[in-house]
A and B are shown apart, each in its own frame.
Chain A
Amino acid sequence: MSQNDNAEIVHFDNVGLRYGTGKEVLTDISFTLYPGQFYFLTGASGAGKTSLLKLLYLAQRPSRGLIRMFGTDAITLPRERLPTLRRRLGVVFQDFRLVPHLSAFDNVALPLRVAGMAERDIARPVADMLDWVGLGDRSHARPATLSGGEQQRVAIARAVIGRPDMLVADEPTGNVDPEMALKLLRLFEALNRLGTTVVVATHDIHLIRKVPESLIMRLDKGRLSDPTGALRYPPRRRFAEPAEAGA
């Protein structure tokens, strides 16, 4: 075990994934994500980005290989202990997955309620978060009455409201205008500066360029390539680790 193993947030070792009896959609995926890093996951459509993200946010178990998250073996972890890990994650789904019968406010408040936070402690941060994503005046609106971009902002607000240890976002700026995309990216960066590991799946090269210190993982036909050395140990950093910051 290397000295950085304790600091790792996610470790994939030789992971493969197939749906049913089909061919593998992810093959021999091995990488380590570290706290406080900003990762972009990129690749062509159908390369397996969403499948890899599903493994990351524990919606899927792999067909083979090992996955360790927050120091816990996520493969052998009993399912009743999965919620504890999931509460440390923030997820922006590609299709938003807002709860249709809940207002924007209640959708954003959902992770806090699931975590058992008292109602009196929920109202303020949720309102602030909705203000921040520009939906302060739409807090009572149901998802069906929101535009695609507004729904996406609600989904992002829901993902970050609980200050997760890791944020996983699948095409989070796909339905918003460039100005809002940049604003949302700045929100992710702000979270990242506070210590949240951010993993954003996107094909938008302009977005990737706007975060020069990010590390890039590229998926190609279910296999991972490593253009910025994000997967190597030690990673070729554009972003110094705290232990070496003064070096």
Chain B
Amino acid sequence: MIAWVRQMLGSEWRERASAESRLLPQGKLSGPMPWVIAIMIGLTVIASASGLALRNTARVASVDVAGGVTVQIVHGAPRERDRQAQAALAVIRAQPGVASARLVPQAELDALVEPWLGTHAGDDINALPVPALIDVRLSSGADKARLESLRARIAEKAPAARVDAQASWLAPVFEAIGALQLLAGGLIALLAFATVASVLLASRNALGNHRGTIEIVHMLGGTDAQIARIFQRSMAVDAAAGGIGGLLLGGIATALLGRQFAALGSGMMTSVGLGWTDWAVIACIPVAGVLLAVFTARLAVLNALRRML
């Protein structure tokens, strides 16, 4: 293996590669391939970055709400509402597996409803049946059985209580994120397919253009592997150039999009971001593109050559 690597990197290999590269005109084999590959890689980078960012968003949000339970005391009489809230809070705190339970202060509630109800002079917010809220954090996830048990215990002391897992409110959002992730995956698969198709077409076109030369090389004892190597090398150069261009294009577009989302200031959107492992995955996309293009070109050329004697 080591000897093989040495041979590959050695002057003998470089000489042979140089000699083989002269058998067919280099740089004219695949025409606009670098541009096509740059576009494909650029789009793949954007789709992958979007998929990864959505995954990160879903992950952060699900961690945030995983053990969250909201208890609302919905009662028209403020005094009774406050009594039931205190009773429910005591019940909750007495339950095992409750990490924290907090009665949301009135000022915080007022701030929450302010955008809808306003704070003009003379407004009497207390006259409105705004529920009391208890924010509960369970040490483990708020699964259905746990929620039912909590609901039953609270109902004994606070019949006006409504107990909901916070995750259930975000379920449609998670479903939408999952669908978008699937869409990103589908786009990546389609782009890979389009890349393969482009490389196949380019290889066939190049083979057609150089059929005469290839026949001569065959007649002089050239092997299929030699001829395939020439096409592979040319495709690798084109794909590498296109891959770097596409990575830059996609990387810049992703960074700009990330800044736009960060500027929204929304709680969920600010968590949209890419970690260094995500960028490492994205950096691998051009490498995968080059490998895919080279492998496709090799298969296409060998397949076409097999039809020659």
Contacts and interface: CB of A to CB of B under 8 A. Distances in A.
Interface of A: 57-61, 79-80, 82-84, 86-87, 89, 91, 97, 99-102, 106, 110-111, 113-116, 118-119, 122, 158
A86 B220 contact: yes
Contact of A113 (B23, B212, B306): B23
B309 A102 contact: no
Contacts of B15: 118-119
Interface residues of B, number: 24
B309 A58 contact: yes
19 contacts: A58-B219, A59-B309, A79-B309, A86-B218, A86-B219, A86-B220, A99-B23, A99-B216, A100-B213, A101-B25, A110-B23, A110-B216, A111-B220, A114-B217, A114-B220, A116-B16, A116-B19, A118-B12, A158-B220
Interface string B217-245: 11111111010000000000000000000
Contacts of B23: 99, 110, 113-114
A80 B25 contact: no
Nearest to B216: A97
A122 B22 CA distance: 14
Interface string B189-216: 0000000000000000000000011011
Contacts of A115: 221
B22 A106 contact: yes
- Give me the 8 closest cross-chain CB pairs, A-B, nearest first: A87-B221, A86-B221, A113-B19, A83-B221, A101-B25, A114-B222, A111-B220, A83-B223
Contacts of B309: 58-61, 79, 82
Contact of A59 (B219, B223, B226, B306): B219
A80 B222 CA distance: 10
Contacts of A91: 219-220
Contact of B226 (A58, A89, A114, A122): A114
A61 B309 CA distance: 8
Contact of A119 (B18, B212, B223): B18
Contacts of B220: 86-87, 91, 110-111, 114, 158
Contacts of B218: 83, 86
Given A110-B216, A114-B226, A84 B221 contact: yes
Nearest to A87: B221
Contacts of B25: 101
A86 B220 CA distance: 6
Nearest to A102: B22
Q: Which of A80, A82, A114 has the most CB of B within 10 A?
A: A114
A83 B213 contact: no
Given A58-B309, A87-B221, A113-B22, 12 more contacts: A58-B219, A80-B224, A86-B218, A87-B220, A91-B220, A100-B213, A113-B19, A114-B23, A114-B220, A115-B221, A119-B15, A119-B19
A192 to B, nearest CB: 21
Given A82-B309, A97-B212, A57 B20 contact: no
A158 B213 CA distance: 14
Contacts of B219: 57-59, 86, 91, 97
